[in-house]
Chain A
């Protein structure tokens, strides 16, 4: 059954092609699009079952589909590689995509670009699956670029509004910076180690590069650069809040559950390389920690519901990066899985709320929706609790506690990282419950004009269920991943507190955050408003609202000089050289034409003078 692996990315590719080429009715489009993802999910489940029942040798299965090219010693194959890591990620991505596609069939029902939307979505899923299953870094890069392209297309989906196009362009350009770093990293790896096949690379690297060598650190940092771009971490995170200009299912699928985790996957896949470069791994952890704090503060000030969720995504991926950086590899993947569930659910719920209120995005104009949209409320609440980390009954708590424990006790963990992660927990519960209280509690500022149907509620219910029970598989999860991403006792160094104590502290912080949010936004909103409008509060508010000034910084540092350069070159000063040749010719002409006077005697004088000069030259030179 494992031979069916190639169908997993192939079916969505084929359906994307069909949807792009044929003109079909809405119903046909919906059936093809959802059906292809459903088929892909089924195949991935079959593959999982057969993998579990009969694990292949060395816990990995490679399916070679053909040679891509063979040039100058580089001969990547089109090959799919299945091991516990890629298996888990493929199953999660396929299944969550399936649910979001069902949701989109109703969400986008009135849009005229229905077929185009689903073609792009299917292409995206196909590229993402290719990325996850790629055997070599070049095929991974192909999938990487594919998801970047689809992200651009889908962010600017409603292209008639210029703002959406600009947001898409910004996303593409910022991730391009990361992609370039990744490409240079690939060049370096191939140049040094002679292959791009991931498994061979890891082997060669551990053989040839000592720990802490410059080559390993450079390559790892370049890969980190690529991951930072795609996963919207510091300093390339500015594109994700603006990417909320796209339709909500796009935000749910691409910018919460799947594409932004591609960076996490990349680092987890090449974690041996990162183990060889402790400084790079430390950089990963620092990036993660800094990002989770910065995004947490920014999320506290946003008034657009989707932007709160966008900053929340940036913050949670910061957690995953932190986990990777301290060496708690499986914790990062576990958090990816639970985050995919509850963040997708949060976005889908936000979509229901926004559509029900007639495209209202401002949470300060919502309120009191608890009674009017009960299912949305309960699923949103479950997801929010999972995000903030309510222990024992939500999946998010399990994964977050694992990361906290890893931040403290893993190979490169330290108390500083643990403390930063705890502050992140406080911020998370603060902004999550600010959001929930302002949207669903209090008095209603807007009226519900539209009711969502089954196709939108059922995926929410399923994801809600997964957000609750998804955490209980932590044990088997860790054991399953152990062959690829080890988490064993040898990793852990002695710490003053036990794991249970860390979890208790995290719970207390979560409760504190919830209570503070309750006070600030439900009981005494006037006090909060006063805080915000005070001078120090106002400055902080504006600073955090503008994402710590990153957009302003990017604009001053990069955009303006480039635009200035383009203006300077507008008249193509290099071309002036060639125009100058023509100019000199013109000047010479205007000088020489004065000799053509038409006067006979002057011509005769010219002949005489010329002959004198000529004879003189012949005589004396």
Chain B
């Protein structure tokens, strides 16, 4: 989430963006999306309610247990997610570079 804050700071959007936003959010722009998401919500609630009784939450899982599970059965998942984060890191670095100027491209 912090990343969002950083990006907002970097973009330095200013009043122009606020005007745009007011324009864009005006009018009946929200009717379609609200209907769609409401329908989806209704379906999900229906699905959940259909099952009947679930049981109750309240069981606590210790961090110790989580740690053991991470190094146990979910080891591969951890490794994979680390690789994923590495890929994201590399990609973000590359994409975040300044765009090449005309001179550099021609050379």
Contacts and interface: CB of A to CB of B under 8 A. Distances in A.
B27 to A, nearest CB: 15
Nearest to B43: A615
B32 interface: yes
Interface string A15-28: 00000000000000
B37 interface: yes
A612 B47 contact: no
Contacts of B46: 619
Interface of A is mostly: helix
Interface in A577-621: 605, 608-609, 611-612, 615-616, 619
Interface residues of B, number: 9
Nearest to B50: A619
B33 interface: yes
Interface of B is mostly: helix
A615 B40 CA distance: 9
B60 interface: no
Contacts of B36: 605, 608-609, 612
B39 interface: yes
A608 B39 CA distance: 10
Given A615-B47, A619-B47, A605 B32 contact: yes
A489 to B, nearest CB: 109
A609 B38 CA distance: 11
B23 to A, nearest CB: 15
A616 B43 contact: yes
Given A619-B46, A619-B47, A605 B33 contact: yes
A605 B31 CA distance: 12
B43 A612 contact: yes
A616 B39 CA distance: 10
Interface residues of A, number: 8
Contacts of B39: 612
A612 B43 CA distance: 8
B47 A608 contact: no
B54 to A, nearest CB: 18
B32 A619 contact: no
B47 A611 contact: no
A4 B32 CA distance: 102
A609 B39 CA distance: 9
B40 A612 contact: yes
B91 to A, nearest CB: 20
B32 to A, nearest CB: 7
Interface in B45-67: 46-47
Nearest to A601: B33
Contacts of A605: 32-33, 36
A329 B46 CA distance: 101
Contacts of A611: 40
Name the residue among A605, A615, A616 with the largest chain B CB count within 10 angstroms: A615
Nearest to A616: B43
Interface in B1-55: 32-33, 36-37, 39-40, 43, 46-47
A597 to B, nearest CB: 14
A608 B32 CA distance: 11
B83 to A, nearest CB: 27
Contacts of B40: 608, 611-612, 615
A619 B43 CA distance: 9
A615 B37 CA distance: 13
A618 to B, nearest CB: 10
A233 to B, nearest CB: 85
A611 B32 CA distance: 15
Contacts of B47: 615, 619
Contacts of B43: 612, 615-616, 619
Nearest to B42: A612
B36 to A, nearest CB: 5
A332 B89 CA distance: 113
A619 to B, nearest CB: 7
B30 to A, nearest CB: 12
A609 B43 CA distance: 12
Contacts of B33: 605
A336 to B, nearest CB: 96
19 contacts: A605-B32, A605-B33, A605-B36, A608-B36, A608-B37, A608-B40, A609-B36, A611-B40, A612-B36, A612-B39, A612-B40, A612-B43, A615-B40, A615-B43, A615-B47, A616-B43, A619-B43, A619-B46, A619-B47
Interface of A: 605, 608-609, 611-612, 615-616, 619
Interface of B: 32-33, 36-37, 39-40, 43, 46-47
**5 tightest CB-CB pairs across the interface, nearest first?**
A608-B36, A615-B43, A612-B39, A612-B40, A609-B36
Given A605-B33, A615-B40, A619-B47, 14 more contacts: A605-B32, A605-B36, A608-B36, A608-B37, A608-B40, A609-B36, A611-B40, A612-B36, A612-B39, A612-B40, A615-B47, A616-B43, A619-B43, A619-B46
